[in-house]
Structure 1
Amino acid sequence: MRLNIHTFIHPTIQTLAYEIIYQKSHKQPQYTDNEKTLGMLIFYEILRKWLTIDHIYIKKVDILKERHLLNQLDKYLIITNIIECYNILADVRRILPESYLKHIDFNNINNTFYYNEELQKYKIIIFEKFLKNYGIIEIINYLQKSNQINLNHVKIVCLTCNNNILKYLAKKHPQVNIYTIKIN
């Protein structure tokens, strides 16, 4: 089966991402403003078809007010390495107020990912800057088996991802959506 891979083609997203990728590969200091802007743009792109907005009209005696509110029933869980991705995720709560962050070290998973609440009620976003190790597969296996999560409610987001990991995900979990800028 095929894997659902979505590449960001917007020139602003690509420019900011390639600056961050270049800075990482050449061990140069990273600019947090670029990462914050990139995070907002990436989350806008992945959420624009996933968010539901309720339109509310409030009628008063002489005026009519219109409000647009996010659906309060939708809750989002962002699984990420907060230490590495903090700058990118710093302003996400501005566009996604009903979101919760769960820290995980993708390099050292060893039974560190257990979440007590019912994961079925969340839409899950797994964010990793550079998807290069197989820890992501353990997380997806855990989500599917232990909590019986519908993997259509899971999105993996990364700046770059390894081709071998994509091949493995395509065999085991083809229904997962992956959003990336570059495939290595």
Structure 2
Amino acid sequence: MGLNIHTLIHPTIQQLAYEIIYQKSHHKLEHRNNEKTLGMLIFYETLRKWLKIDNIYIKKVDMLQESYLSNQFDKYLIITNIIECYNILADIERILPESNLQHIDLNDINRINYHKKLKEYKIIIFEKFLKNYAIIEIINYLQRNNKINLNDVKIICLTCSNNILKYLAKKYPQLNIYTIKII
């Protein structure tokens, strides 16, 4: 079984990502807004099959009110470098209200420290530019120490190195990776 690589090809996502990847945005406020918009679009596209929305109907004496609530039993853990990815993840709670952020610096992998029961979570590993083999250490840690089912893990990145994809395909072919561009 091969690695599940999903390339996000929506034109709006492609355009915003191009501006961020190649730093084409000259106005700082515009750049931050583009990153927030891109984050919302990427997470929507990636998680739309994972998300469950429950319809609730409230019957009142003279009317029927309909509401939509996200499934409260689904919990999400987003593992990311918050310092580098803050703008992209700024509005993520609008899509994932039951989400927790866990900071990790892929350049200092020895500082992995999780205090949660990870089996309760669907795990999202987000990195802007996935070019560091430390992602392997994170996945090793999740599987070895927490016995995580890799079907409950998604890796999301703007760009991904072809070499890392080859390595992941050999070691963890059941992973799902969502990216905009493979370099």
Same fold (TM over 0.5): yes
SS in 1 for 2:109: coil
> How many Å separate the matches in 2 of 1:181 and 1:27?
18
Report the TM-score when normalising by structure 2.
Answer: 0.95
- Cα deviation for residue 28 of structure 1 reads 6.8
CA displacement 1:116-174 (0-9 Å, x = unmatched) = 21100000000000000111000001111110100000000000001111011001111
Which runs of 5 or more structure 1 residues have no equivalent in the other structure?
A: none
Name the counterpart of 2:105: 105
1:61 deviation in Å? 1.7
| 1:29 CA displacement | 7.0
Separation (CA, whole Å) in 2 of partners of 1:114 and 1:104: 9
Give 1:87's aligned amino acid. Answer: N
Alignment of 1:143-162 (within 5 A): 143-162=142-161
Aligned counterpart, 1:95 = 95
The letter for the 2-side match of 1:15 is: Q
Give the ranges of 4+ consecutive aligned residues of structure 1 lying more than 2 Å apart after TM superposition.
Answer: 26-30
* Residue 84 (structure 1) aligns with: 84
SS at match of 1:128: strand
Structure-1 separation of matches of 2:156 and 2:57: 35
Q: Which residue of 2 aligns with 1:124?
A: 123
Instruction: Classify 1:84/1:29 alpha carbon distance in 2 versus 1 (closer, same or farther; 3 Å).
Output: farther
After TM superposition, the score normalised by the length of structure 1 is 0.95
Deviation at 1:72, TM superposition (A): 0.3
The residue number in structure 2 matching 1:65 is 65
Cα distance in 1 for residues equivalent to 2:157 and 2:95: 19
Deviation of 1:69 after TM superposition, in Å, equals 0.5
Q: Give the Cα separation in 2 of the matches to 1:28 and 1:173.
A: 39
AA in 2 matched with 1:50:
W
Instruction: Tell me how far apart the structure 2 counterparts of residues 63 and 20 of structure 1 sit (CA, whole Å).
Output: 48
1:181 is paired with a residue whose SS is strand
Specify the SS of the correspondent of 2:51. Answer: coil
Q: CA RMSD in A?
A: 1.4
Is residue 10 of structure 2 the alignment partner of residue 10 of structure 1? yes
Q: Which residue of 2 aligns with 1:22?
A: 22
1:99-132 Cα deviation digits (max 9, x unpaired)? 000000011101x112121100000000000000
One-letter amino acid of the counterpart of residue 37, structure 1: T
Q: How many percent identity over aligned positions?
A: 76
Residue 141 of structure 2 corresponds to which residue in structure 1? 142
Q: Deviations over 1:70-90 (max 9, x none)?
A: 010000000000000000000
Residues 164 and 19 of structure 1: is their aligned pair in 2 closer, same or farther, counting only changes over 3 Å? same
Where do 5+ consecutive residues of structure 2 fail to align? Answer: none
- Aligned counterparts of 1:155 and 1:2: Cα–Cα separation in 2: 15
**The residue matched to 2:168 in structure 1 has which SS?**
helix
